[in-house]
């Protein structure tokens, strides 16, 4: 029994609507939770206002970029508008703008719920950890349901309306380009404030993390929302769309050769089941009598994984899909969980690496940095092996099915790995919500018992965030390998039209391929450096402003009643700096891709993408895990170990965390989006690279 692809597209739209319904119910559940503390409401409103102000300015800047990009797409893609079908160019431009708009909405939804859930989570902590956990988790789940529902709905509608996989790549490029800049801008904002608040507050003055005397403390909490919520939502929206787009490009191509629509049907079926499994997983998530919030979050992921595996197996049997492709999808999902477990080991404050770095911190900041970097580098190995193994096994497993199926197997492994992305986003968005709640609890003077509860929730958020980032980076790795396959498909289609021979692979002994390989490998390093230098420059400006306020505002340092810092000055510095710094790094990556393509042609681009993927994955995994490790080392010491708060080890750990902040929240998670963007640019520009390059 094989149903038509239209059946699965309609089913996907229905499941997307169910996800929106779940998101709406969760939103109103969180909103209905009691909150009566006037001080917490006051601070919460400041955070909400700051986050929305930044988002409005960021989106205004990105609107200009998207407008220019859409105009260029209209003129040049998929062919010069004066040479091809005008309607195709118009469709491509509209698809690009739709992808950008969907991605922007994902960020806005995240901000809307996070700035409510942080207040509810803080106040719920006065009634115990379970109630507080549920408020934080369900707040994050609103975003999980809305983002994945939007991505599945968007992909379904684009293909249903246009029937054009190239338009689907345009939609994905819109999502990716906006996500790249949103993640970079939000990351620069949040880490500017976080670093400045920690260095002046904790290291220089020895005051608590969220002390209301610190002028940067509100900007720090705003940053959690614009970076870790809005930016992350756009990022994972992009990853999910890109994985489906890559799989569908190959699926439709295979279906044309074989007749029917079984492969495209399978992509929609598995994606819809993944979202359905996430809805069930979110609905059943609870903190049990035994175990803390970390266990509850991880168990919800494992439950969702199990539901997905069973339901997709049932669908494969019912609709007569190919079992080899189901196995490739299952392998991707299993490897995603393994990558998450490996990340957990290197970042969880109950595990040996955190304890070893905490011990090293007693000897000073240099040893904290050295040990953290070392463990971060080691942590990349299991994930890199996992990605490589899943790609190899998926390739070999599906190879006997015929030409093209081997790469399709890798694409389906990526779909499998991202199938439970609704749960992944829910867990990830939980982190900044409970981090904000911890700050609100301190500023609202809710007492040490409440702070202990919010600290436990925050520590779980940091651990799970490292797991979810590992998951997202691993999925991005498989997705871009699949996008490399999509690039080859696009090149071969264009070559057939131009009467040229197609390509089957890339020989690194070919000097044009090697040229591209070397340039591509360097781009993630330069991209990361540009983002972190942006944080560095911005943080220096904010530190100077904090020093000015402590010096000029009489009674601020002593905490005299009625003396309030000028919070808005720090928010303005973070906003202006982030807007200024967010565009150059992304443009550098896109321009480098175009230059390599027009110099070396499609062969050079093949090398460029290969180098970019390998180098980018290594950097992303290393920086995300090292940053999470340093963050939890600081929290481990603050909980009373290795000297506790105020000790030399604590000051060293704060320095380590300061280095780790732009690693894990600015550069690291932005790299996988950068890889996706250059892969999509390459596919969309393949015809032009084939026709106009200096070296063929």
Q: Check if the beta carbon of residue 109 is closer than 8 Å to that of residue 233.
A: yes
Give the model's pLDDT for residue 1: 44
Q: What is the pLDDT of residue 470?
A: 65
Ramachandran assignment for 84, one of left (phi > 0), alpha (psi -120 to 50 degrees), beta (any other): beta
Comparing C-alpha atoms, which of 224, 227, 238 is closest to residue 172?
238
Give the DSSP H/E element, type plus range, for residue 161.
helix 129-162
Please, what is the Cα angle at 549 between 545 and 551, to 5 degrees? 115
- 93-98 own/partner pairs: CB under 8 Å, 24+ apart: 93/170, 95/158, 95/162, 95/167, 95/168, 95/170, 95/171, 95/174, 96/66, 96/69, 96/70, 96/170, 96/171, 96/173, 96/174, 97/66, 97/70, 97/174, 98/154, 98/158, 98/171, 98/174
Residue 284 has phi, psi (to 5 degrees) of -100, 0
Cα 183–Cα 186–Cα 187 angle in degrees, nearest 5: 80
- How many Cα atoms are found within 13 Å in the side-chain-facing hemisphere of 502? 12
pLDDT at site 459: 77
Q: What is the pLDDT of residue 3?
A: 60
Positions in the chain short of pLDDT 50: 1
Task: Check if the beta carbon of residue 270 is closer than 8 Å to that of residue 416.
Answer: yes
Task: Supply 145's token pair.
Answer: 């349901």
Token pair for residue 557? 């340092």
Question: Helix 129-162 and helix 165-197: axis angle, to 10°?
Answer: 150
Q: Which residue has the tokens 């920086």?
A: 623
What the block records as the tokens of 543 is 């530190």
Q: What distance in Å separates the CA atoms of residue 504 and residue 407, rounded to the nearest whole number? A: 11
Phi, psi of 2 (to 5 degrees): -125, 115
Residue 105 CA, chain-centre distance (Å), reads: 15
Length of the chain: 696
- Cβ–Cβ contacts within 10 Å for residue 32, how many? 8
| CB 677, CB 173: distance < 8 Å | yes
Q: What is the CA radius of gyration of the chain?
A: 24
- Helices 567-638 and 352-361: crossing angle, nearest 10°? 110
Chain centre to alpha carbon of residue 35: 31
Q: What pLDDT is recorded for position 231? A: 79
Residue owning tokens 């919460």:
44
pLDDT confidence of residue 615: 94
- Read off the tokens for 337: 């969980």
Q: Are 542 and 567 in contact (CB under 8 A)?
A: no
Name the nearest CA neighbour of 197 among 361, 443, 372, 447.
443
Half-sphere exposure of 580 (CA within 13 A, CB side): 11
- pLDDT for 467 equals 66
CA distance 403 to 492: 14
Tell me: the pLDDT tens digits for 220-240? Answer: 888 888 887 887 788 788 888
Query: Which residues in 67-83 are b (16+ Cβ under 10 Å) and which e?
Result: eebbeebbebbbbebee
Q: What's the CA gap between 122 and 635, in Å, rounded? A: 19
Sign (positive or negative) of CA dihedral 402, 405, 407, 410: negative
Terminal CA-CA length for the chain = 47
Cis peptide before 638 (omega within 30 of 0): no
Tell me the longest C-alpha to C-alpha distance in the chain: 79
Beta strands per DSSP E along 417-484: none
DSSP alpha helices (H): ranges in 259-364? 262-284, 293-319, 323-347, 352-361
Q: What is the pLDDT of residue 46?
A: 86
Q: How far apart are the C-alpha atoms of 696 and 692, rounded to whole Å?
A: 9
What is the Cα–Cα distance from 251 to 485, expressed in whole angstroms?
11
Helix extents (H) in 77-128: 86-124
Whole-angstrom distance, CA of residue 558 vs CA of residue 580: 35
- Residue 312: strand, helix, or coil: helix
d(CA 469, CA 466): 5
């Amino acid at each position: 029994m094989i149903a038509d692809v239209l059946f699965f597209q309609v089913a996907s739209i229905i499941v997307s609507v169910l996800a929106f319904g779940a998101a709406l119910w969760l939103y109103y559940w969180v909103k209905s939770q009691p909150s009566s503390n006037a001080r917490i409401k006051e601070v919460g409103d400041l955070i909400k206002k700051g986050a929305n102000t930044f988002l409005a300015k960021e989106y205004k800047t990105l609107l200009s970029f998207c407008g220019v990009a859409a105009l260029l797409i209209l003129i040049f893609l998929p062919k010069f508008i004066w040479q091809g079908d005008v309607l195709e160019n118009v469709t491509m431009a509209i698809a690009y703008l739709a992808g950008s708009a969907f991605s922007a909405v994902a960020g806005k939804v995240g901000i809307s719920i996070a700035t409510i859930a942080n207040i509810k989570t803080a106040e719920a902590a006065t009634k115990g950890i379970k109630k507080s956990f549920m408020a934080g988790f369900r707040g994050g789940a609103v975003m999980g349901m809305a983002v994945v529902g939007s991505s599945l709905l968007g992909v379904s509608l684009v293909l249903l309306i246009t029937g054009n996989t190239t338009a689907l790549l345009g939609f994905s490029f819109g999502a990716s380009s906006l996500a790249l800049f949103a993640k970079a801008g939000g990351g620069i904002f949040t880490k500017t404030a976080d670093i400045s608040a920690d260095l002046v507050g904790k290291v220089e003055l020895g005051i608590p993390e969220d002390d209301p005397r610190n002028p940067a403390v509100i900007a720090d909490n705003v940053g959690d929302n614009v970076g870790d919520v809005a930016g992350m939502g756009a990022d994972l929206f992009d990853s999910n769309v890109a994985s489906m787009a890559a799989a569908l490009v190959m699926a439709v191509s295979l279906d044309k050769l074989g007749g029917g629509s079984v492969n495209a049907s399978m992509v929609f079926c598995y994606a819809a089941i993944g979202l359905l499994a996430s809805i069930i997983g979110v609905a059943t998530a609870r903190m049990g009598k035994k175990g803390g919030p970390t266990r509850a979050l991880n168990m919800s992921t494992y439950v969702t994984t199990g539901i997905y595996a069973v339901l997709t197996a049932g669908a494969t049997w019912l609709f007569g899909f190919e079992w080899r492709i189901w196995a490739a999808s299952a392998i991707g999902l299993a490897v995603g969980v393994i990558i998450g477990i490996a990340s957990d080991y290197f970042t969880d404050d109950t595990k040996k690496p955190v304890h070893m770095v905490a011990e090293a911190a007693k000897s000073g900041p240099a040893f904290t940095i050295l040990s953290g970097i070392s463990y971060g580098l080691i942590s990349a190995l299991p994930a890199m092996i996992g990605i490589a193994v899943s790609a190899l096994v998926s390739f070999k497993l599906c190879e006997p099915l015929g030409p093209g199926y081997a790469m399709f197997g890798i694409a389906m492994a990526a779909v499998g790995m991202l199938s439970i992305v609704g749960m992944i986003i829910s867990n990830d968005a939980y982190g900044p919500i409970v981090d904000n709640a911890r700050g609100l609890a301190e500023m609202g003077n809710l007492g040490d018992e409440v702070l202990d509860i919010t600290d436990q929730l925050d520590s779980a958020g940091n651990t799970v965030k490292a797991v979810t980032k590992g998951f997202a980076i691993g999925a991005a790795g498989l997705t871009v390998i699949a996008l490399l396959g999509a690039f080859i498909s696009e090149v071969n289609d264009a070559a057939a039209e131009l009467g040229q021979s197609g390509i089957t692979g890339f020989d690194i002994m070919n000097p044009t391929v090697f040229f591209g390989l070397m340039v591509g490998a360097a781009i993630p390093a330069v991209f990361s450096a540009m983002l972190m230098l942006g944080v560095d420059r911005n943080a220096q400006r904010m530190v100077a402003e904090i020093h000015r306020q402590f010096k000029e505002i009489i009674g601020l340092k002593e905490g005299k009643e009625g003396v309030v810092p000028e919070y808005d000055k720090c928010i303005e510095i973070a906003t202006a700096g982030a807007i200024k710094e967010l565009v150059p790094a992304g443009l550098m990556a896109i321009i480098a891709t175009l230059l390599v393509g027009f110099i070396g042609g499609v062969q050079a681009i093949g090398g460029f993408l290969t180098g970019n993927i390998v180098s980018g994955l290594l950097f992303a995994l290393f920086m995300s895990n090292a940053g999470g490790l340093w963050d939890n080392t600081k929290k481990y010491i603050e909980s009373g170990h290795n000297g506790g708060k105020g000790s030399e080890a604590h000051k060293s750990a704060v320095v380590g965390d300061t280095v780790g902040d732009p690693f894990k929240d600015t550069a690291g998670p932005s790299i996988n989006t950068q890889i996706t963007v250059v892969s999509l640019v390459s596919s969309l520009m393949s015809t032009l690279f084939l026709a106009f390059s200096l070296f063929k």
